[in-house]
Amino acid sequence: MLEIGHSDRPYLPRGVRIVEDRVRGGRILLAPEKAVALDAIGEAILDRVNGEATFGAIVKDLADTYEAPQGQIAADVQRFMMGLRSRIFLRVKT
Amino acid sequence: MSVRPPIAMLAELTHRCPLACPYCSNPLELLGKDKELDTRTWVRVFNEAAEMGVLQLALSGGEPASRPDLVDLTAAAHQAGLYTNLITSGIGLTPKRLDALEQAGLDHVQLSLQGVNAGIADWVGGYKGGFDRKMMIAEELKRRGIPLTLNAVMHRQNLDDLEETIEMAVDLGARRLEVACVQFHGWAQKNRHMLLPTREQTEAAKQIVAEAEARLRGVMAFDFVPPDYYAEYPKACMGGWASAGINISPDGKVLPCHAAETIPHLEFDSVRDKSLKEIWFDGAAFNAYRGTDWMPDPCQSCDRKEIDFGGCRCQAMAIAGDASATDPVCSRSPMHGRVTDLLADALSETSNEFVYRRLSRSA
Ligand code: SF4
Ligand code: SF4
């Protein structure tokens, strides 16, 4: 139920946004009653989430940018996005 | 130990509230309107908070909508860069006020739920007509797409309606449901005989939540606070005392948690006299139970001390009479027998009346 399909377009729903953490540094995903510090991988993924790009396109872009195998990247992105989706921090357009 | 700045702030804007829930976490001595911080001071506090690293702000109470300046406060918090979360019963909100709050940058609403129909909800809340007004606001929130968490406070009188509560939350479009079993602080202690769930209810609730969570994955997230009197280990004290959250009472006292004032020997600084930063890092109440050095045995030598931080200081105070004791809910506490006794007493008492939360006239 949480798995994101190849042609799904993920987006951050209203009430979920990314901000700079002025005090601790880095970027933070702010969601209802929750703040998640993003690591470099999380940032790279969410930078590409805009409601237009499909899951497949995001994976391909990341694989090209970091010269990594698509299969490996797809698994990482899927795991990351499913985690967010289970908290409704991320939704998809089908 | 290096102390990190807080992430979340709970601003109790007022103790005033049209409802009178018998488990309210506000102190027994409620503050009147004349004691409340004014708009300017709150705005200064929000700015100080954002500057020191707070990211999340909960605008709470009492009923925050009882403050005529709620919209201005929300706007100021938003401008300070805080994520704004309104914790409300819905009473005092109108479509017009919601327009203004959305404009001001309100991020999220947490709506309390006393029961699934007017009969039980208005009895628990002590406010006739409250349920219908709440439902009107809930529909408004849904129509506008304002991110919504439903906070269902559960206890013996309504735990049997848990499945209906979950369906209601889905219908209202809530993204998240808190199944919050009453914690026995403040007013709830006066109503233990009415509120404490039975062991059967507790077991059933765990199963119902687990099943619904699996079924609703991706639709609605759950946060489940089980009734801890039946647990083997206590509920963790946040990330440890004074590690992540900071509370401001309506008159500006700065507290490590909402119930901290029940610990009589602690002294609390006020935002009227000191900066938030000074209070957080150096305040005596904040340092009293920070980290793990203060812990007695069995906690000090326990493998769970970084997991639950010895449980709740306020509960240790209330039940063991000593805020630095192991939380008596813990099965390893030498005082655990008191919890077993409390359970037996609360379940055998026959009264059918709530002690409602009220502002005492002398205050
Ligand atoms: S003994 Fe203390 S640290 Fe260990 S489980 Fe009990 S409350 Fe937690
Ligand atoms: S002391 Fe108790 S009430 Fe206060 S934050 Fe810790 S667990 Fe919660």
Which two three-digit tokens encode residue A22? 């002025």
Q: Do B5 and A23 touch (CB under 8 A)?
A: yes
DSSP letters for B137-178: HHHHHHHHT--EEEEEEE-TTTGGGHHHHHHHHHHTT-SEEE
Give strand ranges (E) for B120-175: 148-154
pLDDT digits (tens, 9 = 90+) for B246-291: 999 999 999 999 899 999 999 999 999 999 999 999 999 999 999 9
Residue B149 has its nearest CB partner, among A23, A24, A33, at A33
Amino acid in position A79:
R
Residue A66: inside a domain: yes
Q: For ligand 1, pick from B241, B305, B307, B336 the residue to mutate: most ligand atoms within 8 Å of CB.
A: B305
Q: Using the structure block, give the residue that is written with the tokens 């200064």.
A: B44
Ligand 2 midpoint to CA A14 (Å): 31
Partner-chain contact A35 B107, CB within 8 Å:
no
User: Is residue A67 over pLDDT 80?
Assistant: yes
User: Could you tell me the distance, in angstroms and rounded to a whole number, from the CA of residue B360 to the centre of ligand 2?
Assistant: 25
Whole-structure pTM value: 0.94
A8 in any annotated domain: no
In a domain, A43, yes or no: yes
Ligand 2 atom nearest residue B241's Cα = 6
B321 preceded by a cis bond (ω within 30 of 0)? no
Q: Is residue A36 domain-resident? A: yes
Helix, strand and coil percent figures for chain B, each rounded to 5: 40, 15, 45
**Sequence-separated (6 or more) residues with CB below 8 Å from residue B140:** B93, B95, B98
What distance in Å separates the CA atoms of residue B251 and residue B266, rounded to the nearest whole number?
17
DSSP state of B253: B
Tell me the pLDDT tens digit for each residue of B319-346: 999 999 999 999 999 999 998 888 888 8
Looking at the CA of B328, name the nearest ligand. 1
Question: B183-195, pLDDT tens digit by residue?
Answer: 888 898 888 888 8
Q: Look at residue A3 and tell me if it is in a domain.
A: no
Two structure tokens written together for B78: 């938003």
How far apart, in whole angstroms, are the C-alpha atoms of residue B35 and residue A84?
Answer: 42
Q: Binding site for [4Fe-4S] cluster, residues of B?
A: 17, 21, 24
Tokens 């403050």 -> residue: B67
Q: What is the β-pairing status of strands B245-248 and B254-255?
A: antiparallel
Total domains in the fold of chain A: 1
Q: How confident is the model at residue B363 (pLDDT cuts 50, 70, 90)?
A: very low
pLDDT-above-90 percentage for chain B = 78
Interface of A with B (CB under 8 A): 1-2, 13-16, 19, 21-24, 28, 30, 32-35, 85-88
Residues of B in contact with A24 (CB under 8 A): 5, 53
Q: Which residue of B has its CA nearest to A33?
A: B56
Is residue B65 within 8 A of residue B88, CB to CB? The reply is yes
Question: Please, what is the average pLDDT of chain A?
Answer: 96
Residue B330: which of B351, B355, B305, B348 has the closest Cα?
B305
Residue A1 counted as domain residue: no
pLDDT for the residue numbered B142: 97
> Which domain covers residue A52, as residue numbers?
14-88
The CATH number covering residue A44 comes to 1.10.10.1150
Which amino acid makes up residue B144?
R
Mean pLDDT computed over B44-49: 98
Mean pLDDT of A3-8: 96
| pLDDT of B361 | 53
Rounded Cα distance between B222 and B142, Å, is 18
Q: How would residue B362 be classed by pLDDT, with cut points 50, 70 and 90?
A: very low
